[in-house]
Structure 1
Amino acid sequence: MASVFQRPFAITAALRQVPKASSTTIRAFHNTPLQASRNTFFTSTKSTGPVSLFAQSRNAFQSTFRRSYQQTAFQPTLNEGNLTQRLIYGGAIFGGTLIAINLIFNRETREDGGMPPYERSYLNETFLHTGLGIGIIGVAARALHMNGWSYRLMAANPWAVLGIGLVGSIGTMYGAMATAPENYVQKYTLWGAFNLTQAALLSPLMFYHPAILARAGLYTVGMMGSIAFVGATAKQEKYLYLGGPLLAGVAIVALSGLAPMVIPATAARTLMWSEKIWLYGGLAVFGGFTLYDVQKVLHHARMSERGLMKRDPVNESISLELDFINIFIRMVQILAMQNSRRK
């Protein structure tokens, strides 16, 4: 299963697209020193009356307590339309995607009378762990970003970050997957460490505007939800053959992600196509992995019911978490690029 490290510096490279004016979104409480005014309430010597005295005192009060609240980084391009229209558009996109995917990929539905209770229970437990893991990643990434971790991470040596990140992420992931489900303490400790490692690596995404992150999260949930619905209601083991082709697709996406490290900057057209393959090809590949992983969960549920393997929703959730992370990162980059073009 591919992880976020298929393109080592994707997050830092994408963050360069954020306008430098975003620094002005911070409230400036420390302005330049106030210049001494000759006509203040306390130094005025030629007051012509109560009106002049009141005007001078008001100016002194305003200049003393002045604060700069500048919000020039993100203009209302992100806030076009009201909330009702956005909800309608989002619902229409989600519903249309669900119908289209069903018509294309879900023509052969289950022939065993629907999903049995043990498959539904196993799938629900897997989705519960997936949502909990993504929540841990989001909260931890936000907390690390607020504590200045993102700045230190981006200022560190990229190769050191890549090496330590690979060791920490892959080590905790395989450690959690290799631990027996009966060993709750060790398994959930390693699973929590895996989520925290992902949060530490994804914390620089918090430099983006919250509206972009919210929209990317909504689109990712909609995309994965519709694909998961298709995988859960399709014919048994219909999409398990996708494992091999998807691995080949991941290899192509990974090579396109590494292209900027090999291809010179003068080959702009080649770099542009490699960027498109990384973004849109990655969306297609990890959308396919979501379909494959959901059907794999149902297959494992049937095997565990026969006693051929143990129930382990934690292991199943790790694959879906990686699918979510890879789709979410690409959604953020696409939305950020669209927002920069509108400006």
Structure 2
Amino acid sequence: MLSKAISMQSLWAKGSISKVRLFVNVTQKPGLGGKLLKNRFSTSTQLPARGARVRSKATTSIPGKLTAISVGQASLAGASLLGIGGLCFYGLGFSSEVGAIDKAAVWPQYVRQRIRDTYLYFGGSLLATAGSALAIARNPTLMSIVSRNGIVSMVVTIGAMIGTSMLCRSIEYKPGFGPKQMAWLLHTAVIGAVIAPLTVLGGPLMIRAAWYTAGVVAGLSTVAVCAPSDKFLNMGGPLAAGLGVVFVSSIGSAFFPPTGALGLSLYSIAIYGGLILFGGFLLYDTQRIIKHAESMPHPAYTMRPFDPVNASMSIYMDAVNIFIRILMIMANGNRRK
């Protein structure tokens, strides 16, 4: 059974760049005679089976030269070292500049409440998405629906992703459970449905990928909080440019299979480059959330309240993209064993 879908989502927030994220994933479903289950979500590309086979072929056909995958892995390793270095530098207080963690002691209660609510919705989004994906994976009928192939399926997926996102963002936030929260849960359920076909990779692998993602998100969030409060807010332009590159690579990988130099390069950029990119987005979005919570007037002096649901959606999308790429890289590693 073949299934293909591409999902795009635009995230808008005052004072931030507009982010358009295209997600193209391909995984191989066991027990289908080697057929590929084409999935979606995250700015990625063709997943493990093709990547592993092509990597092996490319490595043996170009002896002594760096392959696109090797370059991607080296870039990711370098970015990881920078992240660890940043965590040590800012986390141990070596920076002389004031960070958000230093300001937290003097934050008014309403600023603390805004940030706390944002991360509560962030955690709730992840739980709701995981629950939706698991429920669909356990229902053969629903799994068949979300794994369908074709243009119609692609259009419906794009419409559902963008539509539920826009609906959620357009509703005014009010504390408690109301229309805003219902639209939020609907959006996370749609994303869970998009992710559900990836469960064919197996529960243990997905759990490991989730733990690794939690470590990456926690580490990068710590760097963003400990760093000077505007350190990463100037990254909007480069991140937007990088997103365009990963976007084009994801589109190109759908037309150029990774059996040649071009296809393999696009595959590497979309997976490894995308992982680095969304790590950068997480740093940017974390500081943007804090800045917005600090700069927005006191609730008594503003007509529109702070919206923790909308604020959480950017880091939520970053985390999901990071998870998908880590999962694909791990799946590739398993296939080489």
Could you state the TM-score of these two structures normalised by the residue count of structure 2?
0.71
* Partner Cα separation in structure 1 for residue 225 and residue 326 of structure 2: 24
Does the alignment pair 1:7 with 2:20? no
Name which of 215, 234, 249 aligns with 2:208.
215
Report which stretch shifted further, 249-258 or 228-237: 228-237
User: 2:86 aligned with 1:101, yes or no?
Assistant: yes
Q: After alignment, is 176-185 or 275-284 more displaced?
A: 176-185
Q: Does 1:338 align with 2:333?
A: yes
1:160, distance to aligned residue in structure 2 (A): 1.9
- Give the letter aligned to residue 324 of structure 1: A
Contact 1:109 1:233 in 2 (8 A): no
Q: Mind listing any 5+ residue stretches in structure 2 that lack a counterpart?
A: 1-9, 12-18, 35-79
Cα separation, partners in 2 of 1:204 and 1:111, compared to 1, 3 Å: closer
CA drift at 1:121: 2.9
Instruction: Give yes or no for the alignment of 1:258 onto 2:255.
Output: no
Q: Quick one: which of 238, 248, 251 aligns to 2:241?
A: 248
Report the Cα distance in structure 2 between the residues aligned to 1:178 and 1:197, rounded to whole angstroms.
17
Contact 1:108 1:234 in 2 (8 A): no
Question: Partner of 2:230 in structure 1?
Answer: 237
Determine if the alignment matches structure 1 residue 122 to structure 2 residue 114.
Answer: yes
Asked whether the equivalents of residues 4 and 325 of structure 1 are also in contact (C-alpha less than 8 Å), the reply is no
Aligned partners of 1:180, 1:213: CA distance in 2, in Å? 35
CA contact (8 A) 1:283 1:330 kept: yes
SS state of the match for residue 98, structure 2? Answer: coil
* AA in 1 matched with 2:240: L
Would the aligned equivalents of 1:129 and 1:314 in 2 still touch at CA under 8 Å?
A: yes
Change beyond 3 A, Cα 1:280–1:209: same
Tell me how large the CA RMSD over aligned residues is.
2.8
Alignment counterpart, residue 291 of structure 1, candidates 283, 294, 297: 283
What displacement does 1:194 show? Answer: 0.3
Would the alpha carbon gap of residues 96 and 128 (structure 1) be closer, same or farther in structure 2, given more than 3 Å must change? Answer: farther
* Distance (Å, rounded) in 1 between the aligned partners of 2:136 and 2:99: 48
Aligned in 2, Cα 1:173/1:320: closer, same or farther, shift over 3 Å? same
Q: Where does residue 323 of structure 2 map in the other structure?
A: 328
Q: Residue 174 and residue 151 in structure 1: after superposition, are their counterparts in 2 closer, same or farther (change >3 A)?
A: same
- CA-CA distance at 1:109 after TM superposition: 4.1
Letter aligned with residue 307 of structure 2? D
| Conserved? CA contact 1:4–1:326, under 8 Å | no
- Distance (Å, rounded) in 2 between the aligned partners of 1:4 and 1:144: 26
Residues 266 and 133 of structure 1, relative CA distance in 2, 3 Å threshold: closer
| Mapping 1:1-343, distance limit 5 Å | 1=10, 6-8=22-24, 10=25, 13-15=26-28, 18=30, 99-103=84-88, 107=95, 109-110=97-98, 113-115=102-104, 116-117=107-108, 118-148=110-140, 149-154=142-147, 156-182=148-174, 185-263=178-256, 265=257, 268-306=260-298, 307=301, 310-342=305-337
- Superposed displacement of residue 110, structure 1: 1.7
| Deviations 1:41-70 (CA, angstroms, capped at 9, x unpaired) | xxxxxxxxxxxxxxxxxxxxxxxxxxxxxx
Q: Which has the larger radius of gyration?
A: 1
Structure 1: any 5+ residue segments left out of the alignment? 23-94
Instruction: Call closer, same or farther: CA 1:97–1:206 in 2, change over 3 Å.
Output: farther
Query: Given residue 207 of structure 1, which amino acid in structure 2 is its aligned partner?
Result: V
Letter in 2 for 1:136: A
Once residues 22 and 250 of structure 2 are traced to their aligned partners in structure 1, the CA distance between those partners, rounded to angstroms, is: 7
Identity %: 26
TM-score of the two chains, using structure 1 as the length reference: 0.70
**2:76 maps to what in 1?**
none
Kept after mapping to 1: 8 A contact 2:129/2:192: yes
Q: C-alpha displacement at 1:150, in angstroms?
A: 2.2
Q: Deviations over 1:86-144 (max 9, x none)?
A: xxxxxxxxx99875232467745426843124443322211111111110110111111
Q: How many aligned positions are there?
A: 264
Q: Which has the higher strand share?
A: 2
CA distance in 1, matches of 2:139, 2:179: 28
